[in-house]
Amino acid sequence: MAEGPYTLPDLAYDFAALEPHMSAQVLELHHDKHHAAYVKGANTALEALSEARANDDFSDITKLQKDLAFHVSGHILHSLFWENLSPDGGGKPEGELAEQIDKDFGGFDRFQSHMKEAAATVQGSGWALATWEPAAQRIIVQQVYDHQGNHGQGSVPLLAFDAWEHAYYLQYKNVKADFFEALWNIVDWNDVAGKLTAARD
Ligand code: MN
């Protein structure tokens, strides 16, 4: 089985640390099973493409390229999602991040409304992302399908809300809007601010 270069990152907190907003059962399954599957899938796709080159046999290339985009993006977004969350999260952004959000969205409340609505209205599986868009030098909200569709090239994710059913269904059932409301209690704004600084620089 393919090993590396992608690896499942450890969480910086315990499975129960984000309760009651995210249950320990949901977090453990999400990290240990779902995220782990994307890591494995990304490594497998890279390995299969390497074999295709070695054998000069590209008959499966369209499937493999789709697998690569899906699994690599799934791995990257889940890694980001875990970093964005903290048992000490919540509150509001401060400093340059708060100023950027005010400038680009007309206030934090409007930014929150946009993110929540983008997450809650994903058709099928997907994500709401707040990303740094370097060409316009601003933050935009994106509604991503699966892990990779509908994403503007070059845009750097800062904050991710997972809108797949596996992210909430065991805990919130069909009321997914409550999950996206609860997430604000555990967003680590210091992490998001650090990602903004890194993306801008
Ligand atoms: Mn997920």
**176 in a structural domain:** yes
Q: Return the pLDDT at 79.
A: 98
| Co-location of 123 and 38 in the same domain | no
**1 in a structural domain:** no
| Co-location of 145 and 111 in the same domain | yes
Distance from the CA of 71 to the center of ligand 1, in angstroms? Answer: 11
| Co-location of 33 and 61 in the same domain | yes
| Co-location of 79 and 99 in the same domain | no
**37 in a structural domain:** yes
Q: Return the pLDDT at 58.
A: 97
| Co-location of 75 and 33 in the same domain | yes
- State whether the Cα torsion 116-117-118-123 is positive or negative: positive
**16 in a structural domain:** no
In three-state secondary structure terms, 8 is coil
Distance from the CA of 53 to the center of ligand 1, in angstroms? Answer: 31
Distance from the CA of 137 to the center of ligand 1, in angstroms? Answer: 28
Distance from the CA of 97 to the center of ligand 1, in angstroms? Answer: 25
Residue 24 pLDDT level (bands cut at 50, 70, 90): very high
Domain stops at, among 51, 84, 117: 84
Distance from the CA of 147 to the center of ligand 1, in angstroms? Answer: 9
Distance from the CA of 25 to the center of ligand 1, in angstroms? Answer: 14
Domain stops at, among 62, 84, 106: 84
By percentage, how much of the chain surpasses pLDDT 90?
98
Distance from the CA of 54 to the center of ligand 1, in angstroms? Answer: 33
Distance from the CA of 78 to the center of ligand 1, in angstroms? Answer: 6
We report the CATH number of the domain holding residue 174 as 3.55.40.20
Q: Return the pLDDT at 4.
A: 84
Residue 181 pLDDT level (bands cut at 50, 70, 90): very high
Q: Would you say residue 69 has pLDDT above 80?
A: yes
| Co-location of 74 and 164 in the same domain | no
Residue 98 pLDDT level (bands cut at 50, 70, 90): very high
| Co-location of 68 and 118 in the same domain | no
We report the CATH number of the domain holding residue 67 as 1.10.287.990
Q: Are 142 and 118 in contact (CB under 8 A)?
A: yes
Q: How far apart are CA 123 and CA 120, in angstroms?
A: 9
Q: Would you say residue 1 has pLDDT above 60?
A: no
* Residue labelled with tokens 């046999």: 57
Domain stops at, among 84, 119, 153: 84
Distance from the CA of 105 to the center of ligand 1, in angstroms? Answer: 26
Q: Return the pLDDT at 51.
A: 97
**13 in a structural domain:** no
Distance from the CA of 77 to the center of ligand 1, in angstroms? Answer: 8
Average pLDDT over residues 106-117: 98
pTM of the model: 0.96
| Co-location of 137 and 99 in the same domain | yes
Q: Would you say residue 140 has pLDDT above 60?
A: yes
- CB under 8 Å to 185, separation ≥6 — which residues? 21, 89, 90
Q: Return the pLDDT at 196.
A: 98
What is the number of domains present in the chain? 2
| Co-location of 188 and 108 in the same domain | yes
Distance from the CA of 56 to the center of ligand 1, in angstroms? Answer: 35
Residue ranges making up the domain that contains 71: 24-84
